[in-house]
Amino acid sequence: MTINIGFLIISLLTITLLNKNIININEIYILILQFILAFIGSIIYLNISKNKNIVKYSKKISMKEINLIIYSTIILLLLNFSSNIIFERLNINVVENEVMSLLDDPLNILILIPIMIFIVGPVEEYIFRGIIQGIINENYSFEIAVVTTSILFSFIHIPAVGGLMYNAIPYLIVIFILSIILGYTYKITNNIIVPSLIHGLYNAILLVLYGLFVFYF
């Protein structure tokens, strides 16, 4: 819980400073710094708490896990596209993550791909699935753990869409569902590397597809 609040504060501060132009640093650098600070905070928390071994992982990824990574990534992408189609048919205007504003420059996309795969995905999964879901699951059922974690995970994305507005709710609902799926993949494999790769690949592929859409449509 402490890590989640700290992560939220960092996110809120970052978005606030960007919107007010108080700092003049490239948004990508700020994104990296935000996740580095969140990861450092999580490591410090684990070392001073009784949950040092709460995050489960395996150094080797099995073929079954590779297949799960591939299929789950595809499912998440299909969920994203289908939800966009549904919201469009219902004339619901959905806000986008502010990272999407960086996609007008091809260089930004190339830079963001490894950031999503090796920083954003792993750090968010380490904190939310590894630590938060793990701690809650030690005291309550898995269902309670994954739902609670997914609510927190959705909540932490509010600053990324500019605040809690009416048209941000559909976006947060999709994030919640994605989080549920990631939580189940961690439960199935007991390996934080699996949801980390799914999350990172999903983000990276989504950025590339959105970037192509911006350039050609």
Distance CA 128, CA 14 (A): 20
Structural domains in the chain (count): 1
Q: Report the candidate in 176, 173, 203, 150 with the shortest Cα–Cα distance to residue 35.
A: 203
Beta carbons of 45 and 3 less than 8 angstroms apart: yes
Q: What is the value of pTM for the model shown?
A: 0.85
Quick one: pLDDT at residue 67? 97
pLDDT tens-place string over residues 194-211: 999 999 999 999 999 988
Domain presence at residue 8: yes
- Which DSSP helix (H) or strand (E) runs through 132? none
Quick one: pLDDT at residue 8? 45
Domain presence at residue 185: yes
Quick one: pLDDT at residue 1? 47
Domain presence at residue 60: no
Distance CA 159, CA 167 (A): 13
Quick one: pLDDT at residue 3? 45
Domain that holds residue 95: 2-55+66-216
pLDDT tens-place string over residues 114-128: 999 999 999 999 999
Distance CA 74, CA 106 (A): 24
Q: Report the candidate in 83, 75, 89, 92 with the shortest Cα–Cα distance to residue 201.
A: 75
Domain presence at residue 116: yes
Domain presence at residue 209: yes
Structure token digits, residue 160: 């990324």
Q: What angle do CA 58, 111, 77 make, to 5 degrees?
A: 60
Domain presence at residue 203: yes
Question: Can you list the residues of the chain whose pLDDT is less than 70?
Answer: 1-25, 162, 214-217
Quick one: pLDDT at residue 16? 43
Beta carbons of 148 and 136 less than 8 angstroms apart: yes
Quick one: pLDDT at residue 214? 62
24 backbone dihedrals φ, ψ, rounded to 5°: -115, 65
